[in-house]
Chain A
Amino acid sequence: MPPPNDLEFRVRPARIEGTEPVSHSPAASVVPTTPAVGSVVRARLGTIARQGGLIAVIIALVVGFGAARPFFFEANNLMNVLLQASVVGILALGQTYVLLTGGIDLSIGSTVAVSAVCAGLFSQQTSPALAILGALAVGALCGLVNGLLITVTGITPFIVTLGTMSIYAGLALIIAGGQAVYGIPVPFEDALAGGIAGIPIPVVLFTVLTIASVLVLKYTLFGEYLIAIGGNAEVARLAGISVGRHTATAYVVAGAAAGLAGAILTARLGAADPTLGADLLLTAIAATVMGGTKLAGGEGSMAGAAFGAILIATLTAGLTSLNVQAFYQQVAVGAAIILALLVDQLAKRSRT
């Protein structure tokens, strides 16, 4: 590839006599430097404001609930909130990869169920490490099936994953024989539900995966291509990017994340419940969109998804501490989602 300066493009139109030799660069003058810098700064500020907004709301919630129920401030309780957020958070990260491509994965809840059951059965047969890997593999396989169905047949992601949502849910029940798998060995439970230096392992995993995902999105070809595909699949295709392979990979990642979530749930509950799922799916999507990911694709934030999950967990835990009934909690969580996006809309409107 030759450096472009070798070609001396004679693109500047010749001046005619009598005109001022001013540096009137033709079309180059179109975008002055100042607004460009301004808009970049504004774009950055937008992201910071959004993450900052979520964090501010989380802090406000903690302070509010803490004022009413002092035990809410205790490190123990706060860690518990993070633990609650971990499973949904890991799912939300996976879902973000898919949403970035402009797709959606409705089957992650059911994938959690299948993986949880498999993790439970594997744990009774083999070492914790292999059982966890097995659960990850099952999740990834579910994702691969989604990805291939979507990219090979061309059926829309919503429909494909609506179908597999039902299929995987059924499979979970079939594999489990219609009831929960009990008798999870203690070593397996310890491997995923234990702690490192007082921090629960799911929280550690959630944190590590969040940071990894932020970096993947920001610095890797995979992340760049997902954004390009979600932003404009035809452009990506004409630029020679293999759209199918990258899109399918996003579903595999989401599936693997669901596999991990399933294994964690089995370890934490000490049993594998084949009916898990529907709640997790919706909460994960809620966390994702709260974090600023667009359902239309091409735009999304991993950190946002993580903070979204923490916010929902904080709200739920706080309302529980206030003895608010579960029914009302559902209403509150739903309202919070709409409110978050409403604030977003208003902010956008005031900017233009």
Chain B
Amino acid sequence: MTDATPVLEARGLTKAFPGVVALSGVSFAAYAGEVHTLLGENGAGKSTLLKTIFGVQQPDSGSVHVDGQEVRFDRPSDAMRAGIAMVHQELSLVPQLTAVQNLVLGRERSKVGIVDWREARERARLALDRLKFDAPADVPVSALSVAQQQLIELARAVSTDARVIIMDEPTASLTSAESERLFSVIDTLREEGRAIIYVSHRLKEVLALSDRVTALRDGALVGTRLRAEVRSERDLVQLMVGRDLDALGVQGDTTPGDEILRVENVSVPGVVHDVSLTLRAGEVVGMAGMVGAGRTEFARAVVGADRRSAGDVRVHGKLVRINRPADAIAAGIALITEDRKHQGLALHMSTASNVTLMDPPSRFGVIGRRRQREVAAEWLRPLNTKMQVDQPVGTLSGGNQQKVVLARWLRNDSDVYIFDEPTRGIDVGAKGEIHHLMRQLAESGKAVLMISSDLPEVLAMSDRVVVMRDGRLVAELSREELSEEEVVRHAAAE
């Protein structure tokens, strides 16, 4: 830790959008050899601050300094040239290109216009090795899982000579093992004297990693603390939201009721092998596993989003034929997908249209727009949100977008709710609300399956945990048998 000139400093940044001040007079400094964590609820201004530092947006007032010199970044490439790299929360890889191509994109070495792929592959391999990440580097990244893509994104930032690396929720989709690897890489980067700006909602890792913590609230700076001044996660939460929160998660005390969903021998060639599972009314079943274990693929096969080669689905004991998502909806099975932007929302449609997408209130094919707005507001209200329902949903924050998706599926009144990574990339406040919601659904007699890579969440929420590995269901743990070690042992055993 040093008191020298910060490598990167923002002074009094203010940025207003029509009707809202996203940042007001925020100052922030990143020092070489330090991890500086940025905390704040969704909408607190973290993203705006990072975008302004990185040249995606221009501040209305205030300035950015590198090594004490005032700089002006008109676009991200200016920032990169000044030695700043950013790992985006939303993936920014070109899906059709391979890991190697993505890693060297824009930095290819060429002779008379011909790319030296051997050199590129070597460079990419080096970057991936550094993360101890062995994924197929020569297939299009779209064939990889979200987590694998996230790691490639990280590798790209790390492989540059950037002196400042901004990481916006890098662990959001990583398993704990992968996160550990990332942390050791961050330690190395810190020792190399790079400055890391880190954003995460996972307080445990914030405590473990940070040298300095800065909290934002409603676009304003709450304060910056040295690690030594922070005693516990509770301190962090209070710094961040100005209030305390319930303990993470809630387990139910109701004994599970009748079996609602029975899935037998579901297989998807190459990814899911012979998985059987039952869900009972009133319980939340956690599904744990490493990324790539086939959990998402299993869920998609159950609801008919992807084709399965075998497997029966019974709802309330009755065999149902599910060949496409519409069949699953009719049978009372809801899948709330992991990737909101790509599988959850039609981004330029209004919030109201998104909430009522499955069944817009209509008569003879004509939609009642006023009724639609009322219905949307009605279903969003219990989710503790206030938002304008005729606004394009793409303009909402991540937490609110997730609530729009939830409202849509709640309105449909299913018997079975399958949540795939329901709290990925969501702040602690909204996270707690979603946990309560899942518990509430279970208590009202629904069956809930929660696929999650967030181990503390799995442990805190689940009445029962199933673990998948390499496409197979390898363990089922009752609440008594449940522990972090046990889950990890099954998920990783080989």
Instruction: List residues of chain A with CB under 8 Å of any chain B CB.
Output: 1-5, 7-16, 19, 24-40, 42-43, 218-222, 224, 227-228, 231-232, 234-242, 298-299
Roughly how many angstroms separate A42 CA and B410 CA in the complex, as a whole number? 31
Once bound together, how far apart are the Cα atoms of A28 and B385, in whole Å?
A: 4
Report Cα–Cα, A14/B246, bound state, in Å.
Answer: 6
* B43-A34 in contact (CB<8A): no
Is B146 interfacial (CB-CB < 8 Å)?
no
Residue in B243, B367, B413 whose CB lies within 8 Å of A15 = B243
Taking CB as reference atom, which chain B residue is nearest A244?
B324
B109 adjacent to chain A (CB < 8 Å)? no
CB <8 Å contact, B19 and A222: no
* Nearest opposing residue in chain B for A233, CB measure: B346
Residues of B within 8 A of A (CB): 17-20, 41-43, 218, 241-246, 303, 305, 324-326, 329-330, 335, 337, 342-349, 353, 357-358, 360, 362, 365-367, 369, 378-379, 381-388, 390-392, 395-397, 399-400, 403, 408, 410-413, 427, 429-430, 432-433, 436-437, 440, 444
In the complex, what residues of A have CB within 8 A of residue B436's CB?
9-11
Judging by beta carbons under 8 Å apart, are A227 and B349 in contact? yes
Partner of A242, one of B326, B360, B379, B410: B326
Most chain-A Cβ atoms within 10 A of its Cβ — which of B242, B362, B388?
A: B388
Closest Cβ neighbor of B396 among chain A residues:
A31
| Complex CA distance for A19 and B18, rounded to whole angstroms | 32
B289 → A minimal CB distance (Å) = 22
A7-B440, A237-B305, A239-B325 are known; give 9 further A-B pairs, CB within 8 A.
A27-B42, A27-B430, A31-B391, A31-B395, A32-B19, A40-B390, A42-B18, A232-B345, A240-B330
Question: In the assembly, what is the distance between CA of A97 and CA of B404, in Å?
Answer: 27
CA A219 to CA B370, docked complex, whole Å:
11
Which residues of B sit under 8 angstroms from A36, Cβ to Cβ? 19, 387-388, 391
Cα of A219 to Cα of B361 in the assembled complex, Å: 11
Q: Which residue of B lies closest to A234 (CB)?
A: B343
Q: Which of A5, A28, A31, A235 contacts B384 (CB 8 A)?
A: A28
**Distance (whole angstroms) from the CB of A133 to the closest CB of chain B:** 23
A7 and B400 contact, CB distance less than 8 A: no
- CB pair B358–A220 under 8 Å, yes or no, is no
Once the chains bind, are B413 and A34 in contact (CB under 8 Å)? no
A25 vs chain B, min Cβ distance (A)? 7
Q: How far is the CA of A299 from the CA of B350 in the complex (A)?
A: 12
Q: With A7-B444, A13-B246 in contact, is A27–B400 under 8 Å at CB?
A: yes
- Residue in A closest to B17 when the chains form the complex, CB atoms: A35
A224 contacts B387, C-beta separation under 8 Å? no
A219 to B408 Cα, complex, angstroms: 20
